[in-house]
Amino acid sequence: MKLGLAITQEQINEMETHIDNIDFEAAAKEEKATRHDVMAHVHVFGNQCPKAAPIIHLGATSCYVGDNTDLLVLHEGFQILLPKLAKVIQNLSKFATEYAYVPTLGFTHLQPAQLTTVGKRASLWLHDLLMDERALLRAKNDLKFRGVKGTTGTQASFLQLFDGDSEKVKQLDALVTKMAGFEKHYAVTGQTYSRKVDVECLIVLSSLGATVHKICTDIRLLANMKELEEPFETTQIGSSAMPYKRNPMRSERCCSIARHLITLCSNALQTAATQWMERTLDDSAIRRITLSEAFLSADVILMTLQNITEGLVVYPKVIAKHVAQELPFMCSENIIMAMVKTGGDRQVCHEKIRVLSQEAGAQVKQHGLDNDLIDRIKRDPYFEPIIGQLDDLLNPSTFVGRAPEQVLEFIKEEVQPVLEKYKYMSGPVELNI
């Protein structure tokens, strides 16, 4: 109307009056007859708005309706997910800070390795979540509107409506884009916006699924070691048969749904790969499933992970016991260096440590006894010059390197600036999970 087409304010008012008065039963009956979802609603809307009926869907296509709506929904979906992701990041940043200095066994190949700290391990989770926040935000901000492009993307029908005035067609495209809340529209489309857009959206969501799966797998493994537990209510039942069990069911749920989310990007990739020329309809049905399931899956794993990270329970004494079992083996190099400083021969010391370590290892593996390497060292006269230093050499905090400093620096320099973008968030959301 603003650009001069024969559309009246009365017609617009009539449509606005019925904008929320959707007759779904009539639309379903119409779709059964026409086998066309958009036209079913156009016909029903026309019956409700007889004065506006001649100009409803004027120059438009089904993809003008569907694709532009999808882009609005995708944009809103990211806006829903990002604050929830930020809340998980906030929870874990507090956890990492609290436990930045607590030594724990590091693992490579799932075998005990050099010590790290409980907070440092959580910072690895945080690092991946920050990557996800950046990726989701970028995907949201990269979204544009399809706008007004016509049946094959050439805007031919709109050029006819405006009697060949190309400038007015451009203005219409820009106006509709702005009214929809977007800053930009795609410069070129076929009948649909490029399905590569869906690929970009689903890849970042699938990547989030991989992150959550890794975090919750770590929690499940640590729960098996009784070092860490997710929240467990006093009335919660872990097993129907074994009353003593405390199963990590929230983490298991996250892993289960995350696996589904991870697979969904392949649907978007295949859809983008099989679009023929300006468009083929086999993208329609699968997109209705894939796009919604991806956002719903991401939503539920973030809500569940928020609940988990708000109530993680750490058992420092169990952690210290596991450290004590492995630390004697790890401190062998420190003992060798201390002996060399007192005038000892490195090769001689190395051989003595090797023999004593194997004897202690046999005690642990073959007889199920505690690691007694340090007792063996204390009983060996060769090590008498450093007996007084052993307690210091075995202090776990001296084996974690800069892990605590890394955690605090990382949170200050990288995590906090991200959380500043979401400082409008209120307190924790009450979840019934």
Catalytic residues: 109, 239
Q: What is the 3-state secondary structure (H, E, C) of 169-238?
A: HHHHHHHHHHHCCCCCECCCCCCCCCCHHHHHHHHHHHHHHHHHHHHHHHHHHHHHCCCEECCCCCCCCC
Cα three-residue angle 137-153-151, rounded to 5 degrees: 120
Euclidean distance between CA atoms 314 and 339, whole angstroms: 37
3-state secondary structure of 94: helix
3-state secondary structure of 145: strand
Say if residues 302 and 85 touch (Cβ distance below 8 Å): yes
Two tokens, residue 356 = 């004593």
Euclidean distance between CA atoms 62 and 58, whole angstroms: 11
- Going by their DSSP bridges, the two strands 111-117 and 103-108 should be labelled as antiparallel
Buried b (16+ CB within 10 A) or exposed e, 19-34: eeeeeeebbeebbeee
CA-based nearest residue to 104, from 121, 92, 91: 121
Two tokens, residue 149 = 């492009």
Euclidean distance between CA atoms 38 and 68, whole angstroms: 13
Could you tell me how many residues make up the chain? 433
Which amino acid is residue 263, in one-letter code?
A: T
Tell the residue number behind the tokens 């401190």, with chain if given: 331
DSSP H or E stretch at residue 116: strand 111-117
